[in-house]
Amino acid sequence: MRGDLLKKGKIYQSLSGFYDVLCDEKIYRTRARGNFRKKKITPTVGDDVEFQTTNENEGYLLNVLPRRNSLVRPPIANIDQALLVTSAVEPDFSYNLLDRQLVSLEINNIKPIIYFTKLDLLDDSKMENFKKIQQSYEKIGYQTILPSLMDKEKLDSLFHEILKNKETVFMGQTGAGKSTLLNQISPGLQLQTGEISKVLNRGKHTTRKVSLMKVNGGLVADTPGFSSYDVLNIDAQYLRNYFPEFKNNAHECKFRGCVHINEPNCKIKELLSDGLIEQTRYDNYLNLYNIIKDRKPIYNKK
């Protein structure tokens, strides 16, 4: 390509083999070079890239720069933090799903922020229960947001502070209200939202692709929702390191490398029996540990 220019930018959107790259406040449409497939390189939204172009509609990706982190589901790279949009009802709150998301983010060194939605559909007693759920995750060290306890002005100010100069992925179960929340934060986006299916107790997938948007001085990704979560690609013995309340107290266990299941003199099980570690967290740890331990190995086909 004569007259082409080498540029650096960030992939904003991936769609049908094309990659829209932001560079110097302009969007360039590019395609990946053929050798990407041979090298098993899959460009992802959020990737910092080098590309070659003669105009804004015709360019080629030359190189994907090293990633700080990446997620497979949703597929996105170089994220500072994740806003876990978690519904109280419709779909029903799931400790297991939330804890799986938190572990996935811990593995990738991405800060989680838990945001509870649809609290207005709860009666007083169920609302009190959700306050206890919030407190239990706050005690672990996670930032949580219960919007019903804040007025609009305070909530708007909080989101301006959270999103500014950060790359944030909004993620969560289908129908939890990610697009609705983004429309509240930035009404100009006018993202499509969907109603929950009463039969399936899950929403329609109104967001069908991952893309970055400028919101409150930062970059935000609204991602497709999901109704389940992939098995984590780690060794079962290391799962304990991604539960902060386990990791922070494991040095007091008798055995180094204690996985907090059958070992004697385990500090984690002591804290559990004293009510200082939540039973739901420990149960989800056991569930994930057994799933990972018992999964069949995946062999690469040649």
263-297 in b/e form (b: 16+ CB < 10 A) is eeebbbbebbeeeebbeebbebbeebbeebeeeee
Amino acid at 87: S
CATH number, domain containing residue 204:
3.40.50.300
Same domain for 93 and 16, yes or no, is no
CATH number, domain containing residue 49:
2.40.50.140
Residue 192 CB coordination number (10 Å): 10
In this prediction, residue 194 carries a pLDDT of 41
Same domain for 101 and 50, yes or no, is no
Q: Spell out where 129-208 has E strands.
A: 143-145, 167-171, 196-197, 202-203
Same domain for 126 and 194, yes or no, is yes
Residue 196 has pLDDT above 50, yes or no: no
Q: Could you tell me if 159 and 83 are in contact, meaning their C-beta atoms sit under 8 angstroms apart?
A: no
* 230 in any annotated domain: no
In this prediction, residue 199 carries a pLDDT of 31
User: In what helix (H) or strand (E) does residue 115 lie, and over which residues does it extend?
Assistant: strand 111-117
Percent of the chain with pLDDT over 70: 86
Same domain for 75 and 60, yes or no, is no
Neighbouring-strand partners of residue 275: none
Q: Phi and psi for 233 in degrees, rounded to 5? A: -90, 65
In this prediction, residue 4 carries a pLDDT of 63
* 300 in any annotated domain: no
| Binding site, annotated residues for GTP | 117-120, 172-180
Last residue of a domain, one of 18, 35, 64: 64
* 150 in any annotated domain: yes
Residue 174 has pLDDT above 90, yes or no: no
| Binding site, annotated residues for Zn(2+) | 253, 258, 260, 266
| Binding site, annotated residues | 117-120, 172-180, 253, 258, 260, 266
Same domain for 145 and 251, yes or no, is no
158-173: average pLDDT: 90
Strands 167-171 and 81-87, by their bridges, are parallel
Shortest CA distance to 28 belongs to which of 65, 6, 190? Answer: 6
Q: Which of 83-87, 187-191, 282-286 has maximum average pLDDT?
A: 282-286
Same domain for 83 and 207, yes or no, is yes
Amino acid at 240: R
Same domain for 128 and 150, yes or no, is yes
Last residue of a domain, one of 26, 48, 64: 64
Last residue of a domain, one of 188, 222, 256: 222
68-89 in b/e form (b: 16+ CB < 10 A) is eebbeebbbbbbbbbbbbbbbe
Same domain for 153 and 247, yes or no, is no
How many whole angstroms separate alpha carbon 62 and alpha carbon 73? 25
Neighbouring-strand partners of residue 15: 18
In the structure, what pLDDT confidence band is assigned to residue 33 with cuts at 50, 70 and 90? confident
Same domain for 86 and 205, yes or no, is yes
* 14 in any annotated domain: yes
Same domain for 89 and 130, yes or no, is yes
Shortest CA distance to 170 belongs to which of 75, 44, 82, 73? Answer: 82
Helix, strand or coil, per DSSP, at residue 72? coil
Neighbouring-strand partners of residue 143: 113
Tell me the pTM.
Answer: 0.83
* 165 in any annotated domain: yes
CA 251, distance to chain mean position in Å, is: 29
* 231 in any annotated domain: no
Residue 231 has pLDDT above 60, yes or no: no
* 302 in any annotated domain: no
* 227 in any annotated domain: no
Q: Could you tell me if 160 and 71 are in contact, meaning their C-beta atoms sit under 8 angstroms apart?
A: no
CATH number, domain containing residue 241:
1.10.40.50
Radius of gyration of the chain (CA): 21
Same domain for 75 and 215, yes or no, is yes
Same domain for 81 and 122, yes or no, is yes
Q: Which domain holds residue 98?
A: 70-222
Structural domain total, the chain: 3
